[in-house]
Amino acid sequence: MRYFIELSYRGTEYHGWQTQANGVSVQVTLEAALTQRIGTPIYVMGSGRTDAGVHARQQFAHFDIDEPLNLTDTFIYSLNCILPSDIAIHAIFPVSDKDHARFSAVSRYYQYHITRQKNAFQTGLTYHFRPLLNVALMNEACQILLQHTNFQSFSKARANVTHFHCRLDFAYWERINDDLLTFHIKANRFLWGMVRTIVGTMVEIGQERMSLDRFEQIILARDRTVAGRAAPANGLYLVEVGYPAEVMVARGSGHKA
């Protein structure tokens, strides 16, 4: 039997999603809770590997088990009691053994949050950046971004991938109020460090320290060393993972926290 888990987490205290030799990860924490509750070793596969300090409002993972689980609201509640307060399971539901949390996903949607004012209640959850940014210019850069598919210049140099092509569905900046600025980006896949490097480069554009022509030259160079530095992890959120309808059919009737 294969099950999907829908969960969210605050990534501040974790060394990313994936199991790490040098720190606690979301994956290993989730596996420990499932193993304790079910009574047999459980290993999970996530839809993607968020970096250290990155948050997820919606993340999916799957695990396999020999016998069907007796899924009830109480079962999920008990798992959440085992998990630390910064990880929450929202639903568990059965899927086909061909469905895969990572490879069946058809889209990922990220947001990046920048605040101009220091906020004691948002520490670790937004990027505090004081300079006023030219949002109109940054949105012009987004239109350039949408014309391309190869984003090697925004990928970490040691990324272990076979290609650097991603299909972007949208990319835009939104000023929520005088304090909060949010970057929205959705694609079929993302490269390691891609969103944070795009944000870091666009912040240069927003300060009018980089021209739009230079931005396009960076994309065409396919060279990470010419792009801006990556924005801090704490402002980045995975907010939605998309799957074909047939994968999610059991989610609506499944048990939730």
Catalytic residue annotation: 51
Cα 24 to Cα 217: distance, rounded to the nearest angstrom: 39
3-state SS of the chain: helix, strand, coil percent to 5? 25, 25, 45
Cα 251 to Cα 257: distance, rounded to the nearest angstrom: 13
Q: Which helix (H) or strand (E) holds 7?
A: strand 2-9
Q: What is the DSSP string of 186-244?
A: EES---TTHHHHHHHHHHHHHTTSS-HHHHHHHHHHT-GGGSPPPPPGGGEEEEEEE--
Cα 136 to Cα 51: distance, rounded to the nearest angstrom: 29
Q: How far is CA 156 from CA 26, 28, 72, in A?
A: 21, 24, 42
| 14 annotated ligand binder | no
Q: Which residues are annotated as a binding site for substrate?
A: 110
